[in-house]
Amino acid sequence: MQQTEVIRYALLAGLLITAYLLILAWNSDYGSASRPADRAAATADPLQDNDVPTGEVPSGATPVPSASESPEIDDTVPEVVAGEVPTATTEDAPTISQMEGLIRVRTDSLNVWIDRRGDLVKLTLPKHPVSLETPDVPLTLLDRTPSFLYVAQSGLAGPDGVDARPEGRPTYHTDSDLFEMQPGQDQLIVPLRFEDPDGFEVEKRFIFTRGDHEVRLEYHLTNPRERPLRAAMYGQIRRSGGQPPDFSPPGMGMRPYVGAAFTTSDSRYEKVSFSDLASGWEARVQRGWVAMLQHYFLSAWIPDSDAEHLYRGRQRPDGTYLIEFIGPVVNVAPGASEVIAASFYAGPKIQSRLAEISENLNLTVDYGFLWWISVPLFKVLDFLHGLVGNWGFAIILLTLLVKLALYPLSAAAYRSMANMRRMAPEMKRLQERYSDDRQKLSKEMMDLYRKEKINPLGGCLPMLAQMPVFLALYWVLYESVELRHAPFILWIHDLSAIDPYFVLPLLMGATMFLQMQLNPAPLDPMQAKIMKLMPIMFTVLFLFFPAGLVLYWLVNNVLSIAQQWWVMRQIEMAAPASKGSK
């Protein structure tokens, strides 16, 4: 094979590898197959029983009773009947809390329903609508229906844990069924109270903050007895498998990761898929967190204590999945009081906020193996958005900055292409002259390259070096919730969705075709046909890409055309002068 052909095949291979890696990431890492858990959740009563942690607790703490001492608890809270779950048009009805026995909490950032066990059984995000077409319908993150379960539970296990009693979990009492954050109010406290027959008092206090999706949970324990009170706090997330019920793929069947994630001593961010949870998983971590992820949003428990916690996950007999943390046993001396606390986050994956809540929690914005490129790219993009106030224009400016940063590589590639284009007639004559002698043709080609100081690989290697940047930027645009429902201009109302009129992909295809015309024509006829098909193939592929990514590629093509034209013009102008001086 001649070295001129190597360039073509290398470029073609680079483009195909890029496309393959994208498709592989969508389908392999984020599979969409239906899981048995989905069917099980639809046929079982998902809250018929409840898992109260038993067995071992983190080292250095007093052991929690064994299963024989503390049997699994029967949660008798009735399942919400289909149709009774509040919707956007009925959630303000005054009788809903009374009908279901639920406590309703309303803030500017969260709508939450809490049952009498102190579990979060429904949670919606009023600032994040399901779609642009239904701006008044908030996205539902947590829910409890016959076909889908996603709830956050918490309690006290251990020797004196009120949730580990043989008679069942406690029923808490409140002064009101409705708690609403008022204008000018920065915090809203929802106290749930329970007095144990053994004499001690428990107040389960939820604290909501204006403008935030983090809920602080505090257990206030008062021990009037003559012996110590020993209890360990736990937090659980129970969920059906598969994508959320209202999930609609952003294009090309792309399926973002849905499943559990933990931070451990060995791995700052470890994903544990539903299939892995079915086999069981556990780790012991100083503080740490446990999360359940889906596209753009997550829920997570983050304990307050810096002590060692036990984290684990498994599949339950009813087919649903459970992930949890179990804290160390806390001793409350006679006549004393103690507070055990943790935080529960339920909302969008906003990196800056997640980083404030807990170390490594921001890594749940999963940029893949090129995260070390994606993270600084997003920081630059976020900074540019702060300047221009529009994510579309921020993408354009970011593309310009990336092109400037890679200018030396691009210029070297375009100079090599320009020289190859300039020598194309001479190379074609050599090909015709030595068409029957491949060895002689290869020697003459190499002599020509040395004479004209042309590197036949100079055009492809710099281009291939830019592929990681494109892949990293793809994950930035696909994973960043900030771009969800973010408008650009005119008909582009959502940069995270496909272009509804396919204008951007068609323009991208046209610019790609124009850029191909600036490149030296392939000598091999078959190779020439393949290169002509590339713009068509990529146009079809990009029809189903998020508009933000297509915008980046379009702007990149326009800038590349301008840069390539300028470099080629300089080469062509310098060529006659060089010949005249000889």
pLDDT for residue 43: 34
386 and 277 in a common domain: no
pLDDT for residue 431: 73
pLDDT for residue 477: 83
Which of 89-103, 203-217, 540-554: highest mean pLDDT?
A: 203-217
Q: Which of 321, 346, 366 is the last residue of a domain?
A: 366
CB-based contact 119:169 (threshold 8 Å) = no
pLDDT above 80: residue 91:
no
Task: Identify whether 546 is part of a domain.
Answer: yes
pLDDT above 90: residue 284:
yes
d(CA 120, CA 114): 5
Cα dist from 536 to 462, 539, 564, whole Å:
24, 5, 21
pLDDT for residue 13: 60
pLDDT mean over 116-142: 94
Task: Identify whether 113 is part of a domain.
Answer: yes
If pLDDT is split at 50, 70 and 90, which confidence band does 278 have?
A: very high
Exposure on the CB side of residue 366, measured as CA atoms within 13 A: 24
pLDDT mean over 280-300: 94
pLDDT above 90: residue 339:
yes
Dihedral of CA 513/559/15/493: which sign? negative
Exposure on the CB side of residue 273, measured as CA atoms within 13 A: 13
pLDDT for residue 1: 47
Q: Tell me, what amino acid is at 466? A: Q
d(CA 62, CA 158): 8
pLDDT for residue 581: 53
If pLDDT is split at 50, 70 and 90, which confidence band does 455 have?
A: low
Residues 6+ apart with CB under 8 A from 481: 296, 297, 348, 349, 350, 365
CB-based contact 194:204 (threshold 8 Å) = yes
271 and 229 in a common domain: yes
Task: Identify whether 392 is part of a domain.
Answer: yes
Task: Identify whether 576 is part of a domain.
Answer: yes
Task: Identify whether 52 is part of a domain.
Answer: no
Task: Indicate the range of 18-27, 132-141, 475-484 predicted with least confidence.
Answer: 18-27
353 and 302 in a common domain: yes
Residues 6+ apart with CB under 8 A from 563: 403, 407, 410, 411, 414
Q: Which of 366, 398, 425 is the last residue of a domain?
A: 366
What is the total count of domains within the chain? 2
d(CA 354, CA 214): 10
Greater model confidence, 463 or 479: 479
Q: Is the pTM of this model over 0.75?
A: yes
Q: Which residues form the domain of 492? A: 3-25+375-580
pLDDT for residue 459: 56
pLDDT above 70: residue 15:
no
What average pLDDT is seen over the chain?
80
125 and 41 in a common domain: yes
Task: Identify whether 250 is part of a domain.
Answer: no
pLDDT for residue 212: 97
277 and 229 in a common domain: yes
pLDDT above 60: residue 253:
no
pLDDT mean over 55-73: 39
Q: Tell me, what amino acid is at 29? A: D
Task: Identify whether 415 is part of a domain.
Answer: yes
d(CA 548, CA 377): 14
